[in-house]
Structures are given as structure tokens and as C-alpha cells.
Structure 1
Amino acid sequence: MPLRALRHSHSLLPSKRSGRRLLAYLLAGLLATAPATASTEQYGFDLPDIGTAAAGTLTIAQEKEFGDAYMRMLRASKPIISDPLLSEYVNALGHRLVANANDVRTPFQFILIDNQAINAFAFFGGYVAMHSGLFLHANTESELASVMAHEIAHVTQRHLARSMEDQAKKSPLTVAALVGSLMLAIAAPEAGIAAAHAATAGTIQSRINYTRRNEEEADRIGIDTLARADFDVSAMPRFFTRLADEYRYASKMPEYFSTHPLPESRITDSRARARQYPQKRVPLSPDYQLARARIVARYSGIAAESAMDWFERKLKKASPAEKQSLNYGVALLHIDARRFDEARTLLTPLIQAQPNNRFFIDAMTDLDIGEKHFDKALSRLNDALANQPDNRVLLLNRAYTYVKAQRGQEAIPALERYTHQYPDDSNGWFLLQQAYESTGTHRDGELAAQGERYALRGQWSKAIRNYTQASQLVELGSLAQARYDARLDQLRHQQARFNALKDR
């Protein structure tokens, strides 16, 4: 399922300037909720539970509220990868780590941003975002997991809230200068650092030092989480070392180093801590290799010819276990270039060997749709859903196939159930909008589905406009109108709460 087609249109986005202004207001609201004085507790490196010190600044409920608001802004300002396969993979991997982490107080959600720069960041409410470029530099699943475990520790130890508390000790003017760009600095380091230049040099240095303490703590806790989850704990220092060596003499450092200072002492310490755990050989992860191949083929930001060259170079020295993922990646490139015969030659033996592998089912669906073999695709998907009736990847693929086959009416009931169960998944709303549109008789449903996509980006006025129009199109006093009007009330309430964040 080529989810690149499901990304939001730039016409739906606010300007970058307005998004950043709202972000500054959001963080100013955070500052307004903080107490005038704060605890002077010093955070020792080996203390077992130092994350609870932030309780005086923000409650968990407030963190969730700010996290939801920032996630909506992120959807509107960053190219979020809405690929169901990759979302399924990173969330399965992330929740495996969360299940083995301590001090988990919030649900977690893991998202991918289409950006080849090396970066990852965590923010309020249990959200962890990773750039797709991480897959190009992490050679194993354990290395990717080490980055995720580190970010999970930032959330469980409430480092962002603790940073707020730390800033509350400074003068109001200095706090305003730094806090106004804090969240922006996490997601877009260069912009955040530029904003921070308005503050004093001494305050900047103290903030850097505080961040380094957080980084050291996140490393320590992250390594422990890796061990509990049966990953290779040496993956963290190995990944750090390779990044440091690769960029030692670079004129421009990766964004990752802007938000994750990497001095030699930190690498040495992570290596020493990893040695305290039993060393284990972790087998190759087929799912990671397939996800990585999908990233290279579709989300690496490099030309198709360069991606093909990457796969061909890897194939020359690949083990048999690695070849299937590399051939899968090559097949995706063939599909996207409409070289369907070449793609089928590669995919047929893969899916014959693993008929329930969702990466291969998804690729074969793309291939069948490309050749307009819609019934063939639907038959395969229905067989797979008989064994995995609630799998989101398969449900979305089937809906996508119905829409591409101009059979939107058959997709609507399933998509209505899907969007009710997963209201935060923009894929479901996009497909439901397309399905309604294809019928030519459900303009109200089309407007409502598009309105939900606006709401997921915090574009409340547009969402309210769409639902108002939908309500006007249906029969006066009907159940449909009552439903639309009830949703309008909810959207206005959400808009008021969202706006209140910047007015606190």
C-alpha cells in the first residue's frame, strides 16, 4: 500500500511561522502553570527514582494534554510517515521496550518522521518520534532499540517537565526566552538554538549541562531496559561510537547531536555500563531488515537509482537471511517504477515461502493494484484477514483496494468501524473520505471525514466548517444531522481547550 499518497496535502497546512508562534504560546502556557518557586533537590547520577521531582511543575494529566496538542501541531508541520506497516513495526518494537521499562505512567505512541537526518525526540504524553534516517545508520534492531529505549527513559523520568522546573528557578525574562523555544528545539534543533541565543550565555551553559545529566540518566536507564527486553546492550555504545567516528571531522553535525550531546565521557560510560550485563548474541531480526528496506526504497530521500545501487551493493555480500529483505526492497522500487514483471519475479518466491508475512502481502497488493487485478488482491487479503481479522495493516490494504477498484461503497462500512476504533489514525479518515467521494452520493460523509483530518492537525476552524456544511446537507432533524451537530459541539470544546493552553 503506497502510503506516500496518503500524506497530508500542503494546502491543508498552516504557515511555518504561525505554527512556531503557536508553539511558543503553548510553551508560554506551560510556564504559566509552573509554581514561582521549585525544589532545590540535586539529581544524583545513581539515584533510583529521580523522575518524580517534576510533580511540582506538571501533573501527568497536564503532560498528556500538552502532548496531544503538540502531536496535532507536529502532524501539521512535519512530514509524518503514515505507512501502516512501518507504524505497526515501530510501535511493536517500542511497546516491547515499554513493557520492560520502569516508572511507566503514560501510554506510549511511536511515530516516524520522513527525514533522512539522524534524530529522535520524546515529548509530553508518551510520544516518541524518530526520523527515518535512523534506519540508514542503525545496522541492527538492537541499535534502533537503543535509541528508542533512551527516548522512553526521557519520558518515564519526565525530563521535559524537570527541565521546566529547572527553568522556573531562573528569572522570568530568561525563562521566557528559553522555554518559548524548548519544544521547537527538541523537534527542530537549529531553530530552537537560534531562538535560545536571545538568552544569556550563562543560562545557556547551565541548560546544556542539565541536558547532559538527562542524557546520561537516559543512557543508564535505557541500557537496563534493553537488557530486560532481551536486546544486545552493547548496541548503544556501538551506535554512539560509530556516529561519533563518522562525524568527527564533519563541518555540519547531525541534528541528533544538537539535542543529544555526545561527549567522549558519555560514550565511555555507556560502554562501561553495557559491560555490567551478560553479553548475548541477538539473532538477525527479519522484521527490522524488511522495515529498513522499505525505508530505503520509499522514505530515504534518495533517488530511485541510488536506492537501487544501495540494494545491489548490499546483495553482493548479504547472507541468505538478509537477501529476502533486500530483494523485497528492490521489488518495491520496481513496483513504484511500474516494472511489474520484475517485481513479481522477486516477490513470488518470498510470499510463497511466507504467505502470512504482511510486508509481502502489502507489496503483492500494490503489484496487483498496479496491474488492475483487484479481485486477486482482495482474495489474498480476505484469506489473510481470516487468520488475523483485526490487523490494521490488512484492514487498510483491503479498504485501499476497494477504493482503487472504484468500489468505495463496499469499503465504507469497514472504514466506519475502523475510524471509530482508531480515531487518531489519519489513514482511516483519508480512505473513508476517498470512499465517500467515489460514490458521488455521500458529500456529507466526505466532508466529515476530511474534517477529522483537519482536527488531527489542530486546524479546528476548518474542521468545524466541514461539519457545519455536512450538517446542512442532510435531512433536517435526521439522525445524521444529530450526529454531526454533536460532533460540532465536541470540536468547539476541543478548540476552546486547545486555545486555552496558550492563554494560561
Structure 2
Amino acid sequence: MIKIIVGFLYLTASAYALDLPKANLSESLQEQKQGNEFLQIIWNTDRVVADVETQAYLKKIGREMSIYSEDPSKHVDFLMLNDGSINAFAGPYGYIGVHTGLLLSSETESELAGVLAHELSHITQNHLKRFSEKTDKQTYLMVAGMLAAALVDNSNASQAIAASTVAGAAQQNINFTREHEWEADRIGTSMLSKSGFDPSGMAHFFEKLKDDVNAQEFLRSHPLSINRVSDAMQRSSRLTGDYRKDSFEYKSIKAKLYYHQHKRINLEKDPSLTLYMQAYQALDEQKYASAERYVVQLLEQNKDAPSHILAGRIYAKLGQLEVSQQYFSKVLDRESGVYYAAKAYLDNQQTQQGILLLRRYLKQNSGTYQSHKLLSSLYVGVGSLDRAHIHNAKALAIQGKLEQAIDRYERAKTTTRSQDLFDIISVEIERLEKRIDLYKELP
């Protein structure tokens, strides 16, 4: 299969080492509309990774990086996509996608962070908007369409159209995109250093891909020049410090992705990571007694959040709910911990406890698609269909599917017996309808 992947990592050259232009830090309604349409296209590929720990980790590290970006107030969000190709891309309204193949190809967390920093720089410098203004107002849809064609892989015709379109666009606008790439390299390297990651992570990732026969898809859509890699290396070598080591969270997520791709675990150099994956594989194969033996050994060596979450999941499957919640109690500061704690309550017929826990978290945090779907299921379990519809609506809104979200809210209105809840739902419907009307007025 020929993959056609488009991001905003184009050619660069040291000749473009000029003063950085002042970024336009405002986000228009037009950008929000474009972001909403882009988001729907990406979700419709059915490639968004369902694992909450993976999505929550990517969002966490991405938002940590964005604090040190050129504009921390800029809207950004991150999606991990289940695709073996090495790629990442920046879309309108700050939506950044990362393929599982890219995470697996990274050798350090700083390399992954380097790619995120690069993509965040494209967002803060408004490269997509500037590219669209120079070419065509619908460039963002062209990009989204090509990404979708590559991810879905449902017809050779769609790939051929995407290939010819991107080739023409790239050829006509190469000078413009070279400038963008230089900016993203320079700003991204600085972002890495400020956030505590090794600033050479980006350069090392690019250098490694130059001669990697498995990186041809990345190199077709992200061509690298010798000058660009050399410039990134030199820039990062001037920055020194005591940089962050690879987190156990990064290593465990990478190991799980490898397991699901190859249907086997990789015996790791880190004994804790090997034990983690042995316990995870046993859990996945429903061998709960074996999983418990491995996780007991794991917790003697490692007490990081992924280990506690895994222990909680295993003891929940063993029916030892109180023990599982003791482990989850150590990780309730993160969405993945709250999610699995609530799911453990659901699996052990203590649905109301799960509702209280997850509802409290989502009142204070935006939450992922998966968390709202779980809370909807919890409400179904206690017969609260109005609230189940509400959280289904919130999940649809996260996907950018505003009209479908309104339909769900309308169903909630017809089932609720609470006047207060009826009024709240009405406000949400009005808010979404106003957004849709405003979008329709735009060209």
C-alpha cells in the first residue's frame, strides 16, 4: 500500500535563517470552523487510538510542551492515531495528530517531544493559515482529505488523487514551506530546552530517519536536507542542562503499542518494564492469577503511575474491588487513573460509586471522548438515560460532530424529569446551534 501522508514538515535550509516573523496570536471563528471540520474527518477514519492511557499521555506531554511555546494561550489538542507509518501533522485550530508508528520509532522521550515541539511551532506561527492564504482558502481540507485517504486506505483512486494534489501544491510552494520548516525547527528546539527535554531530541530523530529504509513514507512528506539536520544538530549542541530522563509512562505505552502490533511482548532491558508487560499480557489474555503474580513483583521495583493503574485493573478483574481502589487512589490526579477506577466500579456492580468518581473529575476537567462514553455507560447502568444522552452528546462534540451532539441533547430533553436539567440541556443546544449558524455564515 502506498501511503500519502501530509504534515507541515517540509524542506528547510540555513539560507532562511532570518529573524522570526511576529506570530499572529489570535484565533478567528474561521479557524475554529476549519478545526471542527478537520476534527470530524480525522475521527471518521476510525484510527483514533481507544486506549485512555495512551491518549491521556499524549495530551499531557503535548500540553506540558505548549506552556513553553510562543503562545501558551493558543488552543491545542492531541490525537494518537493507530497507523504504522512514521508521521505527525498539525491541523487547523491547533489539532495535532501523531501516528503510533512514530512513537514506536522514537528511541527516547525527547525524540517524541521534539516532534511535538516542531508541530506546536507550526501552530503558534500560524503556518497552516499563512500557507492557506498564499495558496487557497481550502488548503486545510485538502490536507485533511489526504490524511484521511492515507489512513482509511479504502481505494486506490483516493490515493492517486491525493498524490497528484500534494505533489502540485508542494512544488508550487516550496520556498514558502522552507521558511516554515526553519522556523519550526528553531522554535521547537528552544521549546524542548525550556520544558526540560534534551533539545537534541528533534535533531536526533531527523538524523536517524535519513538513512532508515522504514522511514520512506515520512521522508516523502517530510523531506530532509543535509543542511537542515546539520543546522538542528548545531543549534541543540549549544544548549546544555540536566535534562529529563525517559518516563516509565513513555516506556510502558511504547511497549504496549509494540505488543498490540506484534502480538507478543519484547523483553526489555529494564526489568520493571518486562514485569509490567508480563502482567499486562496476562491481563489481556484473561490470566488474572498470573497477572497478579507479575504485578506483585513489579510493585516491589516500580511505583510509578502506570504500575498502580495496572495493579488496580488486575485486582478489579479478580473481584477484589477494595484492593483495586487502593491502587487507583494513588493516581486519581490523572484521567487514566480516574477512568479505570470508575470502570472497576462498573465491572463490579457498584455503578453509583463510579458515577460519583468520574463525574467529579469531568466537572473540573475537559476529559477525553472515552471518559464521557464511560460515564454515559455508567448512567445507563442506573437507569439515568437523560444523563447518559448528555454525555454521549459531549463525546460527539469532542469529535466535532455538533449536529449529532444536538440530536443527543434533544433525546436527553425528552427523557428528563428534572426541570433544572431540562434548562441546562436547552442552554447547551442553543450554544451549539449558535456555533453551527455562525459557521454556516462563513465562506
Answer yes or no: same fold by TM over 0.5: yes
Residue 415 of structure 2, aligned match among 452, 456, 473: 473
Instruction: List runs of 5+ in structure 2 lacking aligned partners.
Output: 1-13, 152-157
For the pair 1:154 / 2:122, whether they are aligned, the reply is: yes
Question: Quick one: distance in 1 between partners of 2:253 and 2:167?
Answer: 44
Moved more, 181-190 or 337-346: 181-190
Moved more, 184-193 or 417-426: 184-193
Question: Quick one: distance in 2 between partners of 1:338 and 1:221?
Answer: 47
Question: Quick one: distance in 2 between partners of 1:488 and 1:338?
Answer: 43
Residue 82 of structure 2 contacts residue 99 of structure 2 at CA under 8 Å; is this kept in 1?
Answer: yes
Residue 115 of structure 1 contacts residue 132 of structure 1 at CA under 8 Å; is this kept in 2?
Answer: yes
Partner of 2:348: 405
- 1:212-248 per-position Cα deviation (integer Å, ceiling 9, x unaligned): 332222112222222333332333232222212112x
Partner of 1:7: none
Residue 193 of structure 2 contacts residue 199 of structure 2 at CA under 8 Å; is this kept in 1?
Answer: yes
Residue 72 of structure 1 contacts residue 456 of structure 1 at CA under 8 Å; is this kept in 2?
Answer: no
For the pair 1:141 / 2:103, whether they are aligned, the reply is: no
Judged with a 3 Å threshold, the aligned counterparts in structure 2 of structure 1 residues 432 and 99 are, in CA distance, closer, same or farther, namely closer
CA shift for structure 1 position 499: 4.1
CA shift for structure 1 position 287: 3.0
CA shift for structure 1 position 163: 0.4
Partner of 2:221: 259
For the pair 1:350 / 2:350, whether they are aligned, the reply is: no
Question: Quick one: distance in 1 between partners of 2:122 and 2:210?
Answer: 21
SS at match of 1:490: helix
Partner of 2:338: 395
For the pair 1:208 / 2:179, whether they are aligned, the reply is: no
- 1:49-97 per-position Cα deviation (integer Å, ceiling 9, x unaligned): 3253x68xx8455434533443344333342224333334323322333
SS at match of 1:253: helix
Judged with a 3 Å threshold, the aligned counterparts in structure 2 of structure 1 residues 468 and 73 are, in CA distance, closer, same or farther, namely same
Question: Quick one: distance in 2 between partners of 1:263 and 1:143?
Answer: 18
Question: Quick one: distance in 2 between partners of 1:415 and 1:103?
Answer: 31
CA shift for structure 1 position 424: 5.0
Partner of 1:374: 321
RMSD: 3.1
Counterpart residue type for residue 377 of structure 1:
S
Residue 117 of structure 1 contacts residue 134 of structure 1 at CA under 8 Å; is this kept in 2?
Answer: yes
Question: Quick one: distance in 2 between partners of 1:142 and 1:187?
Answer: 28
Question: Quick one: distance in 2 between partners of 1:480 and 1:199?
Answer: 48
Question: Quick one: distance in 1 between partners of 2:120 and 2:381?
Answer: 42
| Higher Cα Rg, which structure | 1
Residue 272 of structure 2 contacts residue 301 of structure 2 at CA under 8 Å; is this kept in 1?
Answer: no
Judged with a 3 Å threshold, the aligned counterparts in structure 2 of structure 1 residues 496 and 458 are, in CA distance, closer, same or farther, namely farther
- 1:398-443 per-position Cα deviation (integer Å, ceiling 9, x unaligned): 211111112222322333333333345222221121112212x322
Output the TM-score relative to the length of structure 2.
0.84
Residue 67 of structure 1 contacts residue 127 of structure 1 at CA under 8 Å; is this kept in 2?
Answer: yes
**Matched positions, count:** 424
For the pair 1:324 / 2:277, whether they are aligned, the reply is: no
Question: Quick one: distance in 1 between partners of 2:201 and 2:165?
Answer: 38
Counterpart residue type for residue 391 of structure 2:
A
Partner of 1:63: 31
Partner of 1:8: none
CA shift for structure 1 position 133: 1.4
Question: Quick one: distance in 1 between partners of 2:198 and 2:384?
Answer: 53
CA shift for structure 1 position 449: 2.2
Judged with a 3 Å threshold, the aligned counterparts in structure 2 of structure 1 residues 498 and 75 are, in CA distance, closer, same or farther, namely farther
Alignment of structure 1 residues 246-325 onto 2, 5 Å: 246-247=212-213, 253-254=216-217, 256-278=218-240, 283-298=245-260, 302-304=261-263, 307-308=264-265, 311-312=266-267, 315=268, 318=269, 322-325=270-273
SS at match of 2:97: strand
Question: Quick one: distance in 1 between partners of 2:175 and 2:159?
Answer: 17
SS at match of 1:225: helix
Question: Quick one: distance in 2 between partners of 1:186 and 1:51?
Answer: 29
Residue 184 of structure 1 contacts residue 192 of structure 1 at CA under 8 Å; is this kept in 2?
Answer: no
Runs in 1 of length 4+ with deviation above 6 angstroms? none
Output the TM-score relative to the length of structure 1.
0.74
Question: Quick one: distance in 2 between partners of 1:222 and 1:460?
Answer: 33
- 1:368-395 per-position Cα deviation (integer Å, ceiling 9, x unaligned): 232222232123324x26xx5x432322
**Taking every aligned residue pair, what percent have the same amino acid on both sides?**
23
SS at match of 2:431: helix
Residue 114 of structure 2 contacts residue 201 of structure 2 at CA under 8 Å; is this kept in 1?
Answer: yes
Question: Quick one: distance in 2 between partners of 1:181 and 1:209?
Answer: 20
